[in-house]
Chains A and B, each alone.
Chain A
């Protein structure tokens, strides 16, 4: 699972050779560690008005040095100052006030001037309004334009820097908890492998954690497929953030499930999620042991790849049964239960294969695209009781599963994204942990890609 190439071109003569030959130069990404500073340098805030003030005050509270665009100390405008001028940790572009395409020019070009000063694994984050059919055409055009800007800029960034955006729904202001929560997530090392993506904040719901390093304190979370790989990383990450975790996996995976459960001080529930009563069993365990259930992460999934021309019913049906039908049935049981309190957060694992398609994976892609449809519909049903349903769509992640891909294919797959490397299971887990938190209660029905801005799909 080690990415030898990235290690090779990250230092010494390997770096020089890669540079001269114009080879991809992936760097080791800045990942979240409890206690580490939020950003590797000061943040440049481009824009003014109440929204900018709200963001500036949040940044200051997080211990980030804030520079305003055009300020006298202007570290951003003197990129060649040498070692003394600290590189920028982030550029935050406030665009929610734009009404016409012409309004984009000044702030975007100003941000562009600062891009060269961005530190390795720095961040560009845009804040703008979601374009809607209700908007005047010019307004919609300007707002939609932001997506093109951000996605292109993300592809121009180097050295592990990423660009992501926050889209605000009509009534949502920049000081809404989920806007601030999303901003913190996107600035932090938690979003290391999230690139070129937008999070839409649909409401002012939510609450920021009293301790930003324990955003899931006291929450009860269920993770399916938790015995290994991404599921184990999810369990570890949720536990690190303060949750009590119920780890679910098939009985045959019980040995590694018990190991992870003991490591994260949770409980192991050996259960085949395709059982008709899986939802009831999960609920009974969580409520019986812990009194309630706050978070459900549908991670369990299988692949049975074949070209459709060679596909048999066993391969097709088992993938649909585990990856999609089981999630639907469990959600139905959870939503139909009186035992659940308000504010249930459901996070499903989709896949870029489901969004962009993948040769040999019609069954898998059907299930993972199906998850997207399920999440959007479930989000609407959960809204009334203050819950959320979201999905993350991992791209190429370094797991036991992808380690089995033949060497050459794997090497190519790794480099086909803006960060030129595969993600880690932890990267997926971090995105899930954010969407599972109350800080993200204003975000629902979102599909967040964790793919390093894979070149295919959105």
Chain B
């Protein structure tokens, strides 16, 4: 590692996140990603700048968006000579673009990079049924009238119904919420604990807005200036009054509501990464170093671990490699897919038996100081446009670290973890500059 040069976070830009079918209901992924890029360009004066490489992606993606990031770059104020590629790693997409591009900078292959992600749950692809698809494909290949009629004759009325968008796990057929409901119950996380975490997320996000923290992290879009899911005035009473929506088969033990789960959200984010030389030569700010990252995956298909538990494995591996413990971390950014997800992660790291048997440690990995957790709010309040969340977190944490500066003579340090579909999880460490 010591032979590599540093990759730094210069800053970020995102559009406010909007609850699905709201402010961005008819807005495409490409439009939102372009807007996020243009705001970044405006903030840092990057007009016509040829960036080393841009990478972004979307989880819910139309087939026409086969070159989504490149098309967004072409539509933006960046130089059209900026190369770009798409990444797709479910909800870890955004964080993975940051880590991949940071590695390229560290290796000296590029000097600058824009990472990002976008998702629209409103403008989601709708596909035709497999029956119709097969019939149309066969029809395309048919040469004679007879063959054509034969292809059409296979069609059944039910084949004509379009298939609505879904994010259910292909191998289990369960939604993410239903998966998490099982894990939440397994780790015995209470409804109250989940609602408290959701409340803290809303309060922290509202406070951050109040002190102008997002003034240079967000550019309004389509009349929306703040995340539309934010409820600054929510309370334990209000959260407590919501009906459970996942894990209903658990009866009284169901704990997950619309308040302690993230809503379907539309939005886009971007992060400007660079080598130190590139940033300095352009008099651009340096907020943080991208220190390291780690991906993990769990076998949720056979029920060995919960679907969203991979970060529990990624984080100890990453910190172990860096010789760090939770004591060395000043800010924890644990993506709030569901309040239960975060609380299960915390519980697992505090569980001696789990840490010994599953993580191969001597004992419990450690306890996360809740005062250091998601201090500027997270997905429960901001919303979670899947691929855009990583960029939101990286830019937010980088700025927070830069404001904090140093802790006890060393740079302030932050840990990010993001869980993702398919039993995936990605973690990263940033350090203040």
Chain A at the B interface: mostly helix, strand, loop or mixed?
Answer: helix
Q: Is the C-beta of A259 less than 8 angstroms from some C-beta in chain B?
A: yes
Q: Mask for B33-67, Cβ within 8 A of A = 1, else 0?
A: 00100110111110110000000000000000000
Q: Is the C-beta of A28 less than 8 angstroms from some C-beta in chain B?
A: no
Q: A251-B225, A289-B283 are known contacts. Are A258 and B212 too (CB-CB below 8 A)?
A: no
**Alpha-carbon distance A372/B48, docked complex (angstroms):** 40
In the complex, chain B residues whose CB is within 8 Å of the CB of A192: none
**Alpha-carbon distance A257/B42, docked complex (angstroms):** 8
B45 and A255 within 8 A (CB): no
Q: A252-B220, A262-B38 are known contacts. Are A268 and B43 too (CB-CB below 8 A)?
A: yes
In the complex, chain A residues whose CB is within 8 Å of the CB of B216: 269-270
**Alpha-carbon distance A271/B215, docked complex (angstroms):** 7
**Alpha-carbon distance A251/B283, docked complex (angstroms):** 23
In the complex, chain A residues whose CB is within 8 Å of the CB of B43: 258, 267-268
In the complex, chain A residues whose CB is within 8 Å of the CB of B284: 289
In the complex, chain B residues whose CB is within 8 Å of the CB of A270: 215-216, 219
Which residues from 219 to 240 on chain B have a C-beta closer than 8 Å to any C-beta of chain A?
A: 219-222, 225
A262 and B42 within 8 A (CB): yes
B285 and A288 within 8 A (CB): yes
Q: Is the C-beta of A411 less than 8 angstroms from some C-beta in chain B?
A: no
In the complex, chain B residues whose CB is within 8 Å of the CB of A265: 45, 47-48
Q: Is the C-beta of B418 less than 8 angstroms from some C-beta in chain A?
A: no
Q: Mask for A243-255, Cβ within 8 A of B = 1, else 0?
A: 0000000011111
Chain A residue, CB-CB nearest to B209: A251
A258 and B45 within 8 A (CB): no
Q: A262-B77, A265-B48, A289-B283 are known contacts. Are A254 and B41 too (CB-CB below 8 A)?
A: no
**In the complex, which of the residues B214, B219, B283 contacts A291, with contact meaning CB atoms closer than 8 Å?**
B283
In the complex, chain A residues whose CB is within 8 Å of the CB of B220: 251-255
User: How many Å from the CB of A138 to the closest CB on chain B?
Assistant: 58
B283 and A255 within 8 A (CB): no
Chain A residue, CB-CB nearest to B217: A270
**Alpha-carbon distance A162/B216, docked complex (angstroms):** 45
Chain B residue, CB-CB nearest to A270: B215
Chain A residue, CB-CB nearest to B45: A267
Q: Is the C-beta of A78 less than 8 angstroms from some C-beta in chain B?
A: no
Interface centre among A265, A268, A272 (most CB of B within 10 A): A268
A261 and B42 within 8 A (CB): yes
In the complex, chain A residues whose CB is within 8 Å of the CB of B39: 254-255, 258, 268
Q: A258-B38, A258-B39, A262-B77 are known contacts. Are A251 and B48 too (CB-CB below 8 A)?
A: no
User: How many Å from the CB of B215 to the closest CB on chain A?
Assistant: 5
Q: Is the C-beta of A266 less than 8 angstroms from some C-beta in chain B?
A: yes
**Alpha-carbon distance A265/B79, docked complex (angstroms):** 12
B42 and A268 within 8 A (CB): yes
In the complex, chain B residues whose CB is within 8 Å of the CB of A5: none
**Alpha-carbon distance A291/B48, docked complex (angstroms):** 21
Q: A262-B38, A268-B42 are known contacts. Are A254 and B47 too (CB-CB below 8 A)?
A: no
User: How many Å from the CB of A344 to the closest CB on chain B?
Assistant: 20
In the complex, chain B residues whose CB is within 8 Å of the CB of A291: 283
Chain A residue, CB-CB nearest to B40: A258
Q: Mask for B376-394, Cβ within 8 A of A = 1, else 0?
A: 0000000000000000000
A290 and B283 within 8 A (CB): yes
Q: Is the C-beta of B218 less than 8 angstroms from some C-beta in chain A?
A: yes
User: How many Å from the CB of B77 to the closest CB on chain A?
Assistant: 4
In the complex, chain B residues whose CB is within 8 Å of the CB of A272: 212, 215
**Alpha-carbon distance A267/B85, docked complex (angstroms):** 26
B45 and A275 within 8 A (CB): no
**In the complex, which of the residues A251, A255, A258 contacts B215, with contact meaning CB atoms closer than 8 Å?**
A251
**In the complex, which of the residues A251, A253, A262, A269 contacts B47, with contact meaning CB atoms closer than 8 Å?**
A262
B42 and A258 within 8 A (CB): yes
In the complex, chain B residues whose CB is within 8 Å of the CB of A261: 42, 45
User: How many Å from the CB of B305 to the closest CB on chain A?
Assistant: 42
**In the complex, which of the residues A258, A288, A290 contacts B219, with contact meaning CB atoms closer than 8 Å?**
A258
**Alpha-carbon distance A265/B77, docked complex (angstroms):** 9
B41 and A262 within 8 A (CB): yes
B45 and A252 within 8 A (CB): no
In the complex, chain A residues whose CB is within 8 Å of the CB of B77: 262
**Alpha-carbon distance A269/B212, docked complex (angstroms):** 12
User: How many Å from the CB of B51 to the closest CB on chain A?
Assistant: 15
Q: Which 5 A-B pairs have the closest CB atoms?
A: A258-B42, A261-B42, A268-B42, A262-B77, A267-B45
Can you name 12 A-B residue pairings with CB atoms under 8 Å? A251-B215, A254-B219, A255-B221, A258-B41, A258-B43, A259-B38, A262-B47, A266-B45, A267-B43, A268-B42, A270-B216, A288-B283
* B interface, CB within 8 angstroms of A: 35, 38-39, 41-45, 47-48, 77, 212, 214-216, 218-222, 225, 283-285
| Additional pairs, 7, CB under 8 Å, beyond known A258-B42, A289-B284 | A253-B220, A257-B42, A265-B47, A267-B43, A267-B44, A267-B45, A270-B215
* A interface, CB within 8 angstroms of B: 251-255, 257-259, 261-262, 265-272, 275, 288-291
